Amino acid sequence: MISLNTKIQAFFSKAFNLPVLKKSRLQWIDYLKGIAIFLVVYRHTLIGIERSGLKIPEIAFKANMVFFSFRMPLFFMLSGIFITGSLKKRNLKQFISTKFENLFYPFLIWAFIQISLQILLADFTNTGRKPFDYIRLLYDPHKIDHFWYLPALFNTTVIYALFKYKTKIKNWQQILLGLILFFTAPYIQNLSVISDWMSFYIFFAIGDVISDFFFKETTQNFLKRSSSLLIVIPLFVVSQLYYLSNITVGEDYYANGFGLFQFLLIALSGCLTMFVIAFRLQTLNILSFLRVIGYHSLYIYVMHVMVAAFVRIIMTKLFHIYNPMVLLILGTFFAVIIPVIIYNFFIYKSFGWFLFSYHKDKQYPKTQNKVASTVAI
């Protein structure tokens, strides 16, 4: 007879796909994705609570602004690091097809699901969604909560690959192009399907440019050292203090005269710090739950806003809990773990296969490995 303890262990192993910890993978990638997706969930849980009319302590907003300064640049830089390797494995047509399936297809499916739920449950949500938002999704996705990132990464990746593959553009030219796009993007924000990828092209290009240097043993040994952490942390703290002192909490980075060039430097400082932290975690082999979260980051990303909203509604309407910090902690926690459980129990090798792929016979390990190497979430 199977003991209760064994059953519990089996449940957690399946629910969180714990065998992933034994797979041969670049652990620092999963650590980075785990950190980044946690910060994304924190931000959107915070926004949901704010929209519900509850007063949130300023410290929570300041923490969000710190995370904001490097979180999205980190996503794009991490994806850029692997583009050259991806292009070597397949031709351009296969590359774009893979990106469409891994990025754009989940975006269409899950954005449709979320908008539909927000319309159907309008009495309980705070978004004010209308049927027109289905169309807006295609030209102004930044107005549809968090879903702008997937088409932005898809567009960035494809456009970068076209330049790299077709024109044989040099690395310094990609950086120059990225800078031009970065400083131009704020002028066309009303068309976010274009301005979003323009804003982050530079970080994707930097990722590709540093990839050869980054994977050298000497570079990675430097990133693993505890002394490296002692170097980057003061730089990170100083840059963030400057950032917070020159921007109004809740505003975008280009507001109130805060310059794009300063933001670029602060973002790069934050990305470097996260890389060092990820390598230190790998070296020490601690906080393995971040690797599990990072491994499932795509699934967390597309579901977390719906889960956070559901948790907030249950806590306030059913249990009458209105403390914003309690809601923030519980909302962030459940919005991270519930999507992982949903995926592993109800989507992986089950009836929900079409929610992430239009290939029914695509196997879980292959999908996950592909996502890990090409998607920064």
DSSP string, 332-372: HHHHHHHHHHHIIIIITTSTTGGGT-S-TT--HHHHHHHHH
What does the pLDDT read at residue 296?
A: 95
Which of 69-73, 115-119, 140-144, 249-253 shows the lowest mean pLDDT across its residues?
249-253
What does the pLDDT read at residue 261?
A: 85
Q: What is the pLDDT of the chain when averaged over all its residues?
A: 88
Tokens coding 208:
């590709």
Alpha helices per DSSP H over 25-91: 27-51, 58-68, 71-81, 83-89
What does the pLDDT read at residue 123?
A: 82
Ramachandran angles phi, psi of 307, nearest 5°: -65, -45
How large is the average pLDDT for residues 137-149?
88
What is the distance between the alpha carbons of residues 240 and 247, in angstroms, rounded to a whole number? 11
DSSP state of 165: I
Inform me whether the pLDDT recorded for 373 exceeds 50.
no
What is the distance between the alpha carbons of residues 211 and 67, in angstroms, rounded to a whole number? 24
What does the pLDDT read at residue 370?
A: 42
| 60-91 per-position pLDDT tens digit | 999 998 998 899 999 999 999 999 999 988 89
Banded pLDDT at 30 (limits 50, 70, 90): very high
Say if residues 333 and 308 touch (Cβ distance below 8 Å).
no
What does the pLDDT read at residue 346?
A: 83
Inform me whether the pLDDT recorded for 349 exceeds 50.
yes
Inform me whether the pLDDT recorded for 350 exceeds 80.
no
Inform me whether the pLDDT recorded for 211 exceeds 50.
yes
Inform me whether the pLDDT recorded for 42 exceeds 80.
yes
Banded pLDDT at 125 (limits 50, 70, 90): confident
Where in the chain are the domains?
A: 26-374
What does the pLDDT read at residue 377?
A: 59
Cα separations (Å) of 137 from 115, 148, 166?
Answer: 9, 8, 30
Of 17, 100, 12, 13, the C-alpha closest to 348 is 17
Ramachandran angles phi, psi of 47, nearest 5°: -65, -40
| 278-311 per-position pLDDT tens digit | 999 999 999 999 999 999 999 999 999 999 999 9
How large is the average pLDDT for residues 241-258?
64
**Angle, CA of 18, 377 and 91, to the nearest 5°:** 105
Cα-Cα-Cα-Cα torsion 278, 279, 281, 284, nearest 10 degrees, comes to: 180
The Cβ of residue 365 has, within 10 Å, a number of other Cβ atoms equal to 10
Tokens coding 33:
């994705």
Inform me whether the pLDDT recorded for 147 exceeds 60.
yes
If phi over 0 gives left and psi between -120 and 50 gives alpha, with beta otherwise, what is residue 89? Answer: alpha
Banded pLDDT at 128 (limits 50, 70, 90): confident
Ramachandran angles phi, psi of 55, nearest 5°: -85, 120
Say if residues 87 and 161 touch (Cβ distance below 8 Å).
yes
What does the pLDDT read at residue 105?
A: 94
Alpha helices per DSSP H over 185-296: 192-214, 217-224, 226-245, 260-284, 289-295
Q: What is the pTM of this model?
A: 0.90
